[in-house]
Structure 1
Amino acid sequence: MNIQLDRKPALLLVDDQPTNLHALAAILKADYDLSFATSGEAALQLAENELPDLVLLDVILPGISGIEVLRVLRANQKTANIPVILVTAASSEQNEINGLDLGADDYLTKPVQAQILLARVRNILLKKRAEMQSRLALHVFEHSGEALLICGRDHRLLQVNPAFTRLTGYSQDEVRGKAPTFLAIQGERDEDLLEMWQQLQQSNMWRNEIWNRRKDGSAFPALLSISKMQDARGEVDFYIASLVDISEQKATEEEIRRIAHHDALTGLPNRLHLNIHLTQVLPLARRHNHSVALMFIDLDRFKVINDTLGHDIGDELLVEVAKRLRACVRESDLVARLGGDEFVVVLPEVHGKAAIQVITDKILHCLSSVYHLDEHQVHSSPSIGISLYPQDGQDAETVLKNADCAMYHAKALGRNNAQYFDAVDLQAR
C-alpha cells in the first residue's frame, strides 16, 4: 500500500458477479481508481502486482474463497498491510469472526449502501494514511543523522533517538524524565535557557547556537532547534528538538578567521588584526588612565639580504625575527607583521618609559644577534620607532603613523636604535 496525496487512491474490487462489480464501481469511480478481479487467484495476482490502497473482497468466490485470499494477502510481506473490507451476501457471524481474526479491516453485508460504503472506505484509508505517516515519522526519528529529542509539556525528556546517543553518550533510559538542561555547561546560560522557554510560549520555533557537555565531560558547540506540537486548542503536547554538532563548522570558521587575521609566512597577527586590537586596547587605556606604547620595527639591511641571498633566506629571516620578537615581549603584548620587513609591537599597559626601555633593549639585543639561516650567517638589526597613546595621538591611525615617523628618525641616526616620537617632534620644532 502506498497512499500518496497527489493521486486518487487505488481500489481493487473482487467479486465473481459482474453486476456486483458494476454496482460497486458506480459508487466508487468518482473518487477512486478502480481495478477488478472475478476470482481469488486473479485478486492475489493483481494485489501483488499493483499494490492497491484497499481491497473490497467478496467472501464467496469460486475456487479460493475470500477468507483464503485474505489469509494469503496477510502472509505475503508485500501485501500484508493492504486494508481489506470483506463483503458478502450472507450474514454469517462466523465468516465475520474469521475475517476479522485474519486481519480484515471491516465487514459489509450486501446489498451495500452507497453512503456507508463511501464512509467505510474513506475512514479506513484515512486511518491507514495516518498509520503510514506515523511509521514514516518513526523511521525518520530512528534513522535521522541529527540528534532528536522529544519533551513533554513539563519540559521533561520523553524520547531521544540513536543519533542523540551517538552524539552525547547518553542512552534513552539515562535521560528519560530529565530536563534537557542537564546537558548544559554548568552555570553558563541559565538566563538564556529561561529566555528560550519564554520565547517558545510566544512562537512556534526557537533556534540558537549553544554549548553542551557529553557524558564523558567533553564540551561541543551545537545548533539547537526547538518547535512545539500543539493540540486543536493550541495547548502544547510536545516539544521536538534537534541538536546538530557544529564543531567542524566552528573549526572551519575559526580557521578562516585565523587566516584573515594572521600573516601566512610568520603566523603573526596582520594589519587587520592589529587595527582591531588597537580599537580595543586604546579605549581601555583611556578608561583606566594609563598609556599604550606602540613600537614600529623595520629590519636594517633586509633588502640587501633579500637581493643577495634570495627570497627564501629573506623569508627564513622574517620567520626567525617573528620568533625572537615573541620571545621578547609579555603574554599580554601583541606582535604583528604589517608586511615586508615591518613589524609592530603593542604594549597595552605601560607606566613610564623605564618599563618600555626594558623591552626595547631586549628587542635590540635579540634582533641584532647573528642569524644562522641555511648555512649562512646573516647580520641584521632593528630600527625602532616608539609612540605613546594618548600622548602622541588620540586614535590608532595617528599613533601608528607617529611610530612609523619615529622609526625613520632611528634609521637616520644610524640604525640599530630606538627613538620616541616626542623626541622627533621636539627636534622638528
Structure 2
Amino acid sequence: MLEDPLTSLANRAALDRHIDQVLRRSRRRQTPLAVMLIDLDRFRQLADQLGGATADAILCVIAHRLARAARETDFVARLEGAEFVLVADDVSDPNAARIVAEWLLETLTPSVELEDQSVSMEPNVGVTLTQAAELDMPLLLRHADMARYARKRSGRGGVSFYHPGPVDGQPA
C-alpha cells in the first residue's frame, strides 16, 4: 500500500520509492533537489482539544490544499501525524525553492472552516536544497527537519532553509 489511508496522499513507503528515483535522476542530470518538510504547529494540542474526528478532518483539508498547491512535477506525501513532505526535483536555485515554500505557506495558512468552527493553522516549512550527489534520503529529511525546528525556535509559522554548519551554535 503506497497511499495514506486518511488523506489519500502518498505514504512514507511511496516517498522512499520516489526519492530513490529522484536522487538517481538528479545525480545523473546534476540538478538541484529541494525537500520541504511541513508541519502544523501545536497540532497535537489542537487535536486533544477538538477530538480525533475533527483533527482527522483538518488533516484531510490540509492534505487537499497541499495536493492542489503542488506543481505538476512535485511529489507530496504524508509522513505521520501533521507532518508532510514535498519533493521538488526541478528547482533551479534557492530563490525558486523559496517561492515554492512560500506558496505552500500561503496555501496552508488560511483557517480551516469546519461545520461549526474555524480553526487557524500555523504551518512551518523546513527546506533543504542540495545537489543530489551529496546526500541520501534520511539525511535530506534530517536537514529539512533541522530547518523546520530552527523556524519554530525563531517564531511560529514560516519558512526556514537548512544551511550546513552551526550559526551561533544552532543550525539555521
TM-score band by shorter chain is over 0.9
**Contact 1:313–1:374 (8 Å) recurs in 2:** no
Deviation at 1:305, TM superposition (A): 1.5
Which of residues 352, 367, 372 is equivalent to 2:108? 367
Question: Following superposition of structure 1 onto structure 2, how do residues 211-226 of structure 1 map, counting pairs within 5 Å?
Answer: none
Alpha-carbon distance in structure 1 between the residues aligned to 2:73 and 2:6: 22
Distance 1:359 1:402 in 2: 18
1:294 match: secondary structure: strand
Aligned equivalent of 1:425: 165
1:261 is paired with a residue of what secondary structure? coil
Deviation at 1:367, TM superposition (A): 1.0
Give the letter for the 1:269 counterpart. A
Q: Name the SS of the counterpart of 1:346 in structure 2.
A: strand
- After superposing on structure 2, the runs of 4+ consecutive aligned residues of structure 1 that deviate more than 3 Å are none
Counterpart-to-counterpart distance in 1, 2:113 and 2:20: 38
SS at match of 1:349: coil
Q: Distance in 2 between matches of 1:356 and 1:402?
A: 15
Distance 2:133 2:120 in 1: 32
Give the drift of 1:355: 1.2
> Per-residue CA shift, 1:171-190, capped at 9, x if unaligned?
xxxxxxxxxxxxxxxxxxxx
Identity of aligned residues (%): 35
Q: Is contact 2:23–2:132 with CA below 8 Å preserved after alignment?
A: no
* TM-score normalised by L of structure 2: 0.92
Return closer, same or farther for 1:291/1:316 CA change in 2, 3 Å cut-off.
Answer: same
Choose between structure 1 and 2 for higher RCO, CA contacts under 8 A separated by at least 6 residues.
2
Distance 2:9 2:132 in 1: 27
- The equivalent of 2:22 in structure 1 is 281
Q: Does 1:331 align with 2:72?
A: yes
Distance 1:309 1:350 in 2: 38
Superposition pairs of residues 64-83 of structure 1, within 5 angstroms: none
CA distance in 2, matches of 1:316, 1:282: 33
Q: CA RMSD in A?
A: 1.6
Q: What CA distance in whole angstroms lies between the structure 2 residues aligned with 1:368 and 1:300?
A: 11
- The answer as to whether partners of 2:33 and 2:90 remain within 8 angstroms in 1 is yes
**1:157-216 deviations in Å (ceiling 9; x for gaps):** xxxxxxxxxxxxxxxxxxxxxxxxxxxxxxxxxxxxxxxxxxxxxxxxxxxxxxxxxxxx
Q: Which residue is equivalent to 2:91?
A: 350
Describe the shift of the 1:307–1:347 C-alpha distance in structure 2 as closer, same or farther (beyond 3 A).
same
Q: By how many angstroms is 1:307 displaced?
A: 0.9
1:392 to partner: Cα distance: 9.5
Q: 1 CA distance for matches of 2:165 and 2:101?
A: 20
Whole-angstrom distance in 1 between the partners of 2:133 and 2:109? 28
